[in-house]
Amino acid sequence: MQSTLLLTLLLPTSAVPVIYLTGRKSAKTAAILVALIALVDIALLSTTIPVVLDAAEHEYVESYYWIPVLGSSFTLFVDGISLSMAIITLMLILTAALFSVNYMQEKKGLAEYYALLTVLFIGLVGVFITSNLMLFYFCWELMLVPAYFIIGGWGYKEPYRAAFKFFIFTHAGAVFVLLGIGAIFMVTGNLDMFEAQKALMTAQPDLVKWILLSLTAGFAVKMAVVPVHMWLPDAHSEAPAPMSALLSGVIIGAGAYAILRVSLGTVFPAVAVMATDFGNQFLHGLAVFGVISAFFGSLIALVENDIKRVIAYSSIAHMGYVLFGLSLFPFQEIMTGTVLHPEAMAGTVLHLVNHAVSKGLLFLSAGAVMKQLEIRDIREMGGLAGQMPVTATASTTAALSIAGVPPFACFISEFLIFVGAFQTIHNDNFYLLPTALMLVATVLSLAYALRYIRHIFLGPMKLEKAKEVPFFMKCAMIILVVFVIVLGIWPTFFLDLINTVSFV
Amino acid sequence: MIEILDVSLPIISFVLFSLLTIPVVKAIRKRKSKTTVLTLGWFSTVFITAAVTVANLTIKYYEQPSPQPFLNITLASEPLAMFSSTFMIDAISIYMAIIFTVVGAVTFLYSIFYINLSERPSERYYSVMLIIIGCIIGVAFSGDLLTLFIFWEASAAGSSFLMLYQKTPRSLHATLKYLVMIIIASAFIVYGLSIVYGITGTLNFWAVKQALTALEDKHLLVTAFIFIAAGYAIEAAVVPFHMWLPDAYTAAPASSSAFLSALIDQGSYYVLLRVLIYILTPPTVLEWTVMLAVFSALTMIVGNLLALAQNNVKRLIANVCIADVGYNLVAITSVTPLGIMGNLFFFLIGGITTALSFMAVGILNRMGFETLDDFSGIGRKMPFTSLALLLGAFSFAGVPPLAGFIAKYLVFTAAIEANLSWLAVIGVLTSIIQAAYLLRLINYMYAKTPRKETKIKEPKKLLVPIFILVAAIIVLGIYPTIVLNLIEPVIQQLPFIP
């Protein structure tokens, strides 16, 4: 088809009013409609898989007239990485919508909820399937507004407080991204990521350094890297469970994707060539922040007692792994022009995918527990495995995956990251210490995962009234359980897609 | 050669219709039935006529300006020739005229419903509004500093009537403050202009520019510049001359605030732009960019910090206007084609957004909601008005896909291009503050529970102009090419900028 990608965005856009109107009559129908649209979008995107796998340039591009004065055309583009991210995002939206049918049942204003979810959907998918920085920024901010209202409108305790924090932090990050994008346009006169990459090669090195720092700092806020993580624990734990799943699964993943695609993919090559020392230090800096985030998140997750905050802090830890993976960007290869070891990057992107599925599942199952028990302190829970077998299975699968236990999804990607790290040590012995520390951090993640499962599902039964969750919630969790296991045993599908992309 | 009729028709038609409005509205008021239809009919005649005259100008002169873009109207013979008046047409003046007519029409539509027709002096209110639109178009078409001054002072002074309309003690006080500031400003400007005339022997834009470029001793010019810039800065409410604006816009009826922020504010930026960039071009005549950059930074910081401390929503929006002045100055300061483009886009979008916010706040003020506390839970009680205010706030904050984002993007990029990265960083940081207080407003509107959980009927007629503007910010946000293409010829006609 000629305009597959445009259709992928137009479909949810045109569906927003329909979903709102349907939602006023029957919330369930609206939810199923959102899920269906996600499914159709997956099908649409799947039609581009053969192109991406086979074509010589390994990408699929559509371009439309938009704002020529600003060097922007409405360019939609997929390659292996963006396709993987977009598909997994759609999967999570699908399950989040299904999960919401029962989870949100008693809440008011569901028509608005599903309409906002669809707007979020446009933004999330759009971020992954464009190569124009202006359009990218549009979608980037489009995630923010509906997320703000969903957290605020349907969250727990003081939701608007958490939502406010979320909005201000990520918006503050976004304006620095904007500054970077503006500077790129100013230097290159173009906003296409790939054109800009070439044009930046001849720019003034000092300016390019600042662009790199400004963009990375902005994206790091969305990615919730320590020390700009403060919004995450509140937003993730106060949001309704389907929204937490999306936030933790893909929204922070989008931050990592943006660092990979824009900071490292577009700007970094110019820095690496013109200011080699600085480029090296920059990557080392990423590694350091990655290690700090991983330890900080894991340690707090180990002592936190609120069911969702444990998971929220584990997200920070996992973004630490991802950031560490990103710091293994094939720097030497850019200089020499040869591809030596693609494992680190493939592992990092695969970890984004796997983490999205696992963390999504973990948040959904935590939501299921909270919904049935109406408490959130894990010390008051216990022995739920007998009463809620499906939820228990789902939680355990997800928690073990998060801990990096084979045969679940996250194991294989963490493994790949470490393989890449050891190969990099060969060239650059700075990575010795960070890699060793990251290995220690995985032990910590196993510790908090086991603690989580033991407190909630094992041990003596403390609550009599607990019952298994209703049909749609089960459905959503089972879909993701299957995904976590399949991705763990057979990661080849995504790995093949990701490996089509070369960073050099 | 520009035909005299082409240029003067838009101005004349507004002024003429404004005079006719008084008897016509009086006649309409006497009738018992169909008053609304008749009023709308009359005013649409006015605006359609004006639009036709502007369209005529656009078609004739927009793409290809005539080689001699001046029109001299000599009012006196040779010894008193300096009392002659010059008009000029170039792309930028036509662009401004289009904006003034279109935005003027929408804000006027709001005033028709907001100011009660049966009130005694309402016909004067309408007629003053029309005269001001005429004068501000005259400002855009002026070709010499004196003509510019006369038209500009006429519209600035006329606006005091719009502020005064309700005749409350507060509005009297605010108007007095405004008038005093305006008079001081015009004294400054006249003084500066007389020095310029003394140096160059002319007030015609082109002639002044040429004379100044050849000028060797610039001491006097610096004095003149300080007076002129200070004068126009007072009228544009640049910090530290901003004190009149929050009072005036808060005390004025909402329709006036919307009208003034959309037209007079934009007019004042235009004047600054015209005088500074077209005549006192920085690289060739006077190096004023750093000074202006400092003021621009100051305006952004102070405007946003003041807004952060506001509890009255209308006052908050008025302070956003001040911050907007700062963002406009960033673009003016950068003196690059991109900056001018951003500037002209910001004129339009800033005007539309402030106008629509004032309009929405006006509806809410009518219901007795003034402070942030009163606004608690308004989102559920008055969904449409709140939605408009919400979108306006997000557009201010620069959240895509609303038009405010593209405007801010252009402005900041221009600053980077002009080697004023520090200014861009300040702009970005202040716009985080802006997002914070606007989000605070949204928080009150949607997060807090209202004191009384009753639905309030929203005035549908007043919502029509508001949603026209809302549609405009959404459409221009997603597809700004419509306006950017309109601005292109302006950029082409900037031979002054290296």
Nearest Cα of chain A lies from the Cα of B476 at a distance, in angstroms, of 11
Cβ partners under 8 Å of residue A97, min gap 6: A31, A32, A34, A35, A38, A114, A117, A242
Sign of CA dihedral B206, B207, B208, B209: positive
Cβ partners under 8 Å of residue A265, min gap 6: A193, A197, A503
Sign of CA dihedral A355, A358, A361, A365: negative
Say if CB A497 and CB A78 are below 8 A apart: no
CB contact under 8 A, A160 and B447: yes
Give the mean pLDDT of chain B: 86
* Interface-testing mutation among B432, B449, B482, B492, with chain A (most A C-beta atoms within 10 A): B432
pLDDT at B72: 62
Region B380-398: mean pLDDT is 91
Residue A356 identity (one-letter amino acid): A
* Interface-testing mutation among B406, B409, B426, B434, with chain A (most A C-beta atoms within 10 A): B409
**A292 inside 8 A of chain B by CB:** no
Determine the Cα angle at A82 with ends A81 and A87, to 5°: 105
For residue A159, the chain B residue with the least C-alpha distance is: B447
Task: Name every chain B residue with its beta carbon within 8 A of the beta carbon of A238.
Answer: none
Say if CB A486 and CB A412 are below 8 A apart: no
Q: What is the pLDDT of residues A384-436, one digit of tens each?
A: 888 889 999 999 999 999 999 988 999 999 999 999 999 888 888 889 999 99
Q: Which of A65, A67, A172 has its CB closest to that of B484?
A: A67
Query: How far apart are alpha carbons B448 and B112 in whole angstroms?
Result: 33
CB contact under 8 A, A138 and B401: yes
Q: ipTM of this model?
A: 0.88
Q: What is the pLDDT of residues B19-71, one digit of tens each?
A: 998 888 888 888 877 888 888 888 899 899 989 988 888 888 776 655 555 66
For residue B391, the chain A residue with the least C-alpha distance is: A145
- Nearest CA to B241 out of B280, B187, B185, B287 is that of B185
Task: Name every chain A residue with its beta carbon within 8 A of the beta carbon of B436.
Answer: 168
SS (H, E, C) A177-197: HHHHHHHHHHHHCCCEHHHHH
Cβ neighbourhood burial of B31 (10 Å; 0-12, 13-18, 19+): exposed
H or E segment and range at residue A158: none
Q: What is the pLDDT of residues B270-290, one digit of tens each?
A: 998 888 877 777 777 778 888
Confidence category of residue A54, pLDDT binned at 50, 70, 90: confident
CB contact under 8 A, A182 and B413: yes
Region B328-357: mean pLDDT is 88
pLDDT at A340: 63
CB contact under 8 A, B341 and A176: no
Long-range contacts of the stretch B22-30 (C-beta < 8 A, 24+): B22/B123, B22/B124, B22/B127, B25/B117, B25/B122, B25/B123, B25/B126, B26/B123, B28/B117, B29/B117, B29/B118, B29/B123
Say if CB A23 and CB A116 are below 8 A apart: no
Residue B450 identity (one-letter amino acid): P
Residue B342 identity (one-letter amino acid): G
CB contact under 8 A, B428 and A164: no
Question: Strand pairing partners for B71?
Answer: B87
Query: How far apart are alpha carbons A486 and B126 in whole angstroms?
Result: 71
A302, pLDDT greater than 60: yes
B225, pLDDT greater than 60: yes
For residue B425, the chain A residue with the least C-alpha distance is: A179
- Nearest CA to B137 out of B264, B40, B249 is that of B264
Residue A114 identity (one-letter amino acid): Y
**B375 inside 8 A of chain A by CB:** no
Query: How far apart are alpha carbons A180 and A263 in whole angstroms?
Result: 10
Task: Name every chain B residue with its beta carbon within 8 A of the beta carbon of A145.
Answer: 394, 399
Task: Name every chain B residue with its beta carbon within 8 A of the beta carbon of A182.
Answer: 409, 412-413, 416, 424
B300, pLDDT greater than 90: yes
Query: How far apart are alpha carbons B405 and B485 in whole angstroms?
Result: 18
**B400 inside 8 A of chain A by CB:** yes
Query: How far apart are alpha carbons A285 and A324 in whole angstroms?
Result: 10
Question: Strand pairing partners for B142?
Answer: B87
Long-range contacts of the stretch A439-444 (C-beta < 8 A, 24+): A441/A291, A441/A294, A441/A295, A441/A298, A441/A317, A441/A320, A441/A321, A442/A403, A442/A404, A442/A414, A444/A295, A444/A298, A444/A299, A444/A302, A444/A317
Nearest Cα of chain B lies from the Cα of A158 at a distance, in angstroms, of 9
Q: Six-digit token pair at A281?
A: 């230090």
pLDDT at B498: 36
Query: How far apart are alpha carbons A376 and A364 in whole angstroms?
Result: 14
pLDDT at B71: 61
Cβ partners under 8 Å of residue A436, min gap 6: none
Region A89-106: mean pLDDT is 92
Say if CB B352 and CB B473 are below 8 A apart: yes
Gap between the terminal Cα atoms of chain A: 30
Q: What is the pLDDT of residues A218-251, one digit of tens each?
A: 999 999 998 899 999 999 989 999 999 999 989 9
- DSSP secondary structure string, B152-171? HHHHHHHHHHHHHTT--HHH
Region B412-438: mean pLDDT is 90
E strands present in A86-180: none
Query: How far apart are alpha carbons A62 and A153 in whole angstroms?
Result: 37
Q: Which of B417, B431, B440 has its CB closest to that of A175?
A: B431
Query: How far apart are alpha carbons A109 and A107 in whole angstroms?
Result: 7
Question: Strand pairing partners for A62?
Answer: A76
How many CB contacts within 8 angstroms connect chain A with chain B?
88
pLDDT at B116: 80
Region A309-324: mean pLDDT is 94
Chain-centroid distance of CA A462 in Å reads: 35
**A133 inside 8 A of chain B by CB:** no
pLDDT at B449: 80
Query: How far apart are alpha carbons B274 and A185 in whole angstroms?
Result: 27
**A112 inside 8 A of chain B by CB:** no
Residue burial B53-70, b: 16+ Cβ < 10 Å; e: rest = bbeebbebbbeebeeebb
Nearest Cα of chain B lies from the Cα of A253 at a distance, in angstroms, of 21
Cβ neighbourhood burial of B495 (10 Å; 0-12, 13-18, 19+): exposed
Query: How far apart are alpha carbons B73 and B92 in whole angstroms?
Result: 21
**A152 inside 8 A of chain B by CB:** yes
Region A195-200: mean pLDDT is 89
Report the half-sphere exposure of A90 (CA within 13 A, side-chain side).
Answer: 24
Determine the Cα angle at A438 with ends A437 and A443, to 5°: 95
Cβ partners under 8 Å of residue A96, min gap 6: A117, A242, A243, A245, A246, A360, A364, A476
Give the mean pLDDT of chain A: 90
Using DSSP, state whether A64 is helix, strand or coil.
strand
Say if CB B106 and CB B473 are below 8 A apart: no
Cβ neighbourhood burial of A220 (10 Å; 0-12, 13-18, 19+): buried
Query: How far apart are alpha carbons B134 and B107 in whole angstroms?
Result: 15
DSSP A77: E
Say if CB A459 and CB A364 are below 8 A apart: no
pLDDT at B78: 59
pLDDT at B497: 43
Domain residue spans in chain B?
Answer: 288-498
Residue A231 identity (one-letter amino acid): W
Using DSSP, state whether A147 is helix, strand or coil.
helix
